[in-house]
Chain A
């Protein structure tokens, strides 16, 4: 029964220091976003995306959403940065300059979407509003009942694993399906299956999918080892 989180104690007007911290972090996010838009080097962009995730994680901490901050720092700043780096290696390192006359369409789309978001802002509940949908209905129910029914201090875990066990099961199956899809397409060595294509009437068949290897020196690194080839790849 350590659960004594007084959610009503959130002050109606947030502390001035918290407000300043929030403003600083949010303006940092905007600055990083503009820097990302204006950059041409994909390597720097990926690094800045990691910075963006890290600042967002810090902001989530000030909002007391520590679980979300955790996930943002680990997935956004950690794993996805590395995956993006791996993706860059298969592509160009720099984007080319896009002339202004090709950017009117995207600009209009962004302006319309931004106007729609601004239009929706007045409908959002105020920060810390006790009557907001997140603090009413089933949320308060979970908070009140976790201490009695599940008796663990972290209500987030109780909601995630017990009250919303179906949802979490679905998420795990989605993650499993994503991993399965990647493995079926690429395999652990990135070379699963037989690659077949029809090029100018000629049928090509190759034991490996085309990858960045062949442009440089043909496979000293990526040749699957004996132990791997027995289970994967050689289907």
Chain B
């Protein structure tokens, strides 16, 4: 018997974290049909990484979801959203009028909403994790008895 008092916690978390991440993607890609969308999915995905970080340590989380990815993700999301608007301009419509994105106006709306929700997802996930990494790194990891 080794000295890890959190073995149950770690085992259950290992089981739960992939499910939470999977649920985030479900919320993301099912957002047109059920509740949710890019914002909720982004928060849920970042919550799964935060849970991983709480149980396995911040450095492990930074290896799993590296800060480089965050820096790219948060700007890529805004660029994807704005770029969709610029694309509708190029196609001859108003800014963020997705109807011009495809031959069929309704298909254009679908494409536009999917692109925009992906942008929201990337930005929200990255920013939530960036804030957590920034604040979480400001103190040493604490021992159990400190609480």
Q: A residues within 8 Å of B by Cβ?
A: 43, 66-67, 69-71, 74-75, 78-79, 82-83, 86-87, 89-90, 93, 149-154, 156-158, 160-162, 165-166, 168-169, 171-173, 175-176, 178-180, 182-183, 185-191, 211-213, 216-217, 220-222, 228, 231-232
Contact = CB atoms under 8 A, between A and B. Distances in A.
A152 B82 CA distance: 22
Interface string B75-112: 10110011001000000000110110000011001101
Given A79-B47, A211-B138, A212-B139, A71 B105 contact: no
6 contacts: A78-B44, A79-B47, A151-B109, A154-B35, A162-B109, A162-B113
Interface residues of B, number: 61
A157 B43 contact: no
Contact of B33 (A154, A171, A232): A154
A135 B81 CA distance: 29
A3 B67 CA distance: 42
A188 B132 CA distance: 9
Contact of B123 (A93, A175, A189, A232): A175
Contacts of A221: 140-141
A124 B59 CA distance: 50
Nearest to A93: B147
Contact of A182 (B40, B116, B117, B131): B131
A222 B39 contact: no
A74 B127 contact: no
A89 B139 contact: yes
Contacts of B82: 169
Contacts of A231: 67-68
B131 A178 contact: yes
Contacts of A171: 39
A74 B44 contact: yes
B21 interface: no
Contacts of A232: 67
A169 B85 contact: yes
A157 B31 contact: yes
B7 interface: no
